[in-house]
Structure 1
């Protein structure tokens, strides 16, 4: 027996065996299946949203494939949603030229809330049931995430502005988007320039506002003292660079394409409202009352003005009401309020508290507290009575003396004439 021939035959058998194994492996790992991304909803998707993706699985091979498994393998920024399976058994796919050689499968996943804009890979695996380690297909599809920046004027510190009074006006700007704001410029203007900044312009710059952060810009503002009370419009404008909106990911790295965005909004500010008062002690009247002057020294009209003296140590109200109604006081007007008061002690200065209530130009009821140092003196009416009694006593002998002088003068005149 020729051992060389035997050896060649055995070698051929080994080669044929190995080739058969390779053919089997290829039939397991390459079944002629293809996968395509049909649709994504929404497109583009935004951070924090639920993404639904649809894939088409086709069999282009000459043999049908049973128990085909389609599995989604999410990586950051994608994640599994509770209750939503990421595996789907689509059953049997027929061989090519057969109607049932393709099927569609859908998955839902969640996009991370803090991701920047860009394209991110989403992996899909297709394999026979039980043969996941011998993959048929592992393919990645790029999903575009749009994290366009958004900002808003979250709050304004001022609702009312008193004419002629310098006031701080603050704006809080919040980044409510999913990418930072850079090189922001904020400005505002009022109707007919009724409100103007003092000591600075109406423009402020902000270098950077991170995601979900905010920034505050302050202005000192003033309006004319003769401004008619009412609600006036305030126009606001915010412009900034949205670097992340057009950010793309390439093989060379991240490319940033700046885009300037503008947000315009408006708000209402009421000009008017409150006013201010001054109260001064005038005199103690002949009837014994204390008289005070009440002045509207503010820049707004005050309606239904009342002045009250609350219960307090050192003073008591005599009999009547402790409140006096003054009516309407225009700005710059004043009027008199009298109170019957009795001090606990005399001949010294005592503190006296007042409360002034009024209706402001915007219809709100307001009040102010004032305090004066008033000299407590004896009632003037008593002093006048004493003076009147002394006058009556002096007048009781004045008339008889006058009669006596007339008689003496008449007697002297008759004697000279004789």
Structure 2
């Protein structure tokens, strides 16, 4: 009885083992007989997508299952930075795929996508969705699979000269010229070379050559390149062209050259030296010299209103153009406000000194420590009107200068003596003329006396008068 029970247990255990093995085998056979789709990205052209350019994808679809499939639809779902190209469908269909296909079998599909122009370098995911029907009749079913692929995007290598810090360079003066270079692409730049040249040779670098190197510049970053430059002292004022070359290496270490131009104005403002020249009878003369390196157009010299001095008549004079190194003389009738004092107060009361509005003579005391303010206006080479303020120390020797009467024209030191000079010259001319007449008379008399007898020579007649 015990033997029977043990045998029964062994048989029941064996039956359970066989049943489990049969179930597992059935499941395995079910998987083998099922359909299965395999989707792969086999090629990408170019290998790395470029911003602003299309990229072509080659996709293979293969049935590796044991059942045939049909009505296969393959759809590419693009995401940033990829978009659909007009006229290029992102949905492809395959009518039928046999079971158990090898690697060289199956369908080959091509898709085209556009890469965003501002895409940054990196790796991006794209989903490929496949739907198909498996089986036939009432046992047919629709299956969906999703395959995620990765696409590489190569950044755009581009840089540009965004700004130049100066639009004007003075003549014969060392100045700094700065180029601000910005990587406006989406990929980093390396081994950049910046150079520039003025075709006319007016603007030249000093203390270095015209080439600068930039080892690395990341996307969106800027770098400043500084040159010390100088314009030729003999250069004509005007706008000059700078040819700028920017050489860089791209993603594949190929050399790329970017060329551009910039305009720089040579010339500009100038400076003046104003000195006291001479004084005569209330009139002062000032020497105005252009001591800068640029021409001054339409120069006007003025004596503005000020506390210590007053101008009688015109306070401005136009002297025209002044080349660099040239000078001119400007004259004004100037009186001292401090020098003319009136006394206020009642009879017998102490008076109070007060400056007269009418002005008085210029004296050494009135001009001492009181420089005359002078204003110079001119037009520079760019056509801009410039004003320069100067102060001049007046030098008055002796007692004073007598101001000219109002309404009379200006006369310089030489012209005031012209009447006297004319009288002297006229008197000298009369004297010379009379001397020549007397010499002629004497000569005639000598000739006549040579033909007479001694008595005639003595008495001037043939016989002496009684």
Sort the TM-score into its range (normalised by shorter chain): 0.5 to 0.7
TM, length-normalised to structure 2:
0.59
Instruction: Return the match for 1:204 from 208, 212, 215.
Output: 212
Aligned equivalents of 1:344, 1:272: Cα separation in 2: 41
3-state SS in 1 of match to 2:369:
strand
What displacement does 1:325 show? 1.0
Aligned twin of 1:374:
393
**Match of residue 296, structure 2, among 294, 302, 311:** 302
- Distance change in 2, residues 1:176/1:348 (3 Å): same
Tell whether the 8 Å contact from 1:37 to 1:53 is kept in structure 2 after alignment: no
The residue aligned with 1:227 is: 235
Greater CA drift, 104-113 or 323-332: 104-113
- Alpha-carbon distance between aligned partners in 2 of 1:38 and 1:183, rounded to the nearest angstrom: 32
- SS of the equivalent of 1:164 reads coil
**Among 151, 155, 174, which residue is 1:147 paired with?**
155
Q: Does 1:115 align with 2:124?
A: no
Cα deviation 1:205-240 (Å, max 9, x = unaligned): 233322222221222222222222333222222223
| Contact 1:355 1:367 (8 Å CA) reproduced | no
Report the equivalent of 1:324.
Answer: 317
2:329 corresponds to: 336
* Deviation of 1:312 (Å): 3.2
Distance 2:26 2:69 in 1: 18
String of CA shifts for 1:299-338, please: whole Å, max 9, x gaps: 33222111223333333333x3332111122222211112
Shift in CA distance, 204/305, structure 1 to aligned 2, threshold 3 Å: same
Instruction: Give the Cα–Cα distance (whole angstroms) in 1 for the partners of residues 112 and 304 of structure 2.
Output: 77
Q: CA deviation at 1:160?
A: 2.5
Q: Residues 102 and 196 (structure 1 numbering): CA distance in 2 closer, same or farther, change over 3 Å?
A: closer
In structure 2, C-alpha distance between the alignment counterparts of 1:374 and 1:265, rounded to whole Å = 53
1:62 maps to what in 2? 68
Structure 1: unaligned runs, 5 residues or longer:
82-87, 247-257, 384-418
Distance (whole Å) between structure 2 residues aligned to residue 104 and residue 279 of structure 1: 84
CA distance in 2, matches of 1:283, 1:322: 17
- Displacement of 1:268 in angstroms is 2.4
Indicate if the aligned counterparts of 1:161 and 1:272 stay in contact, CA closer than 8 A. yes
Q: Higher relative contact order by CA 8 Å / sep ≥ 6: 1 or 2?
A: 1
Measured in 1, the distance between the counterparts of 2:403 and 2:44 equals: 103
- Cα distance 1:80–1:168, how it changes in 2: closer, same or farther (>3 A)? closer
What secondary structure, in the 3-state scheme, does the structure 1 residue paired with 2:402 have?
helix
The aligned runs of 1:17-96 (5 Å cut-off) are 17-22=23-28, 30-32=35-37, 34=39, 45-46=49-50, 62-64=68-70, 72=77, 94-96=95-97
Alignment of 1:253-402 (within 5 A): 258-286=253-281, 288-318=282-312, 320-345=313-338, 346-362=366-382, 364-375=383-394, 380-381=401-402
- Whole-Å separation in 2 of the counterparts to 1:104 and 1:207: 40
Q: Gapped runs of 5+ residues in structure 2? A: 1-6, 84-89, 99-106, 134-142, 339-365, 405-466
Distance, in Å, in 1 between the alignment partners of 2:216 and 2:161 is 15
Paired with 1:326 and 1:16, the residues of 2 have a C-alpha distance of: 121
SS at match of 2:393: strand
Pairwise CA RMSD: 4.4
**Which residue pairs with 1:187 in the alignment?**
195
Per-residue deviation, 1:5: 9.3
Distance 1:109 1:168, change over 3 A: closer
- Equivalenced residue count is 344
> Cα distance, 1:341 vs. partner?
2.8
Helix, strand or coil for the counterpart of 1:274?
coil
In the alignment, which residue of structure 1 is the partner of 2:183? 175
Equivalent position of 1:237 in the other structure: 245
CA contact (8 A) 1:167 1:221 kept: yes
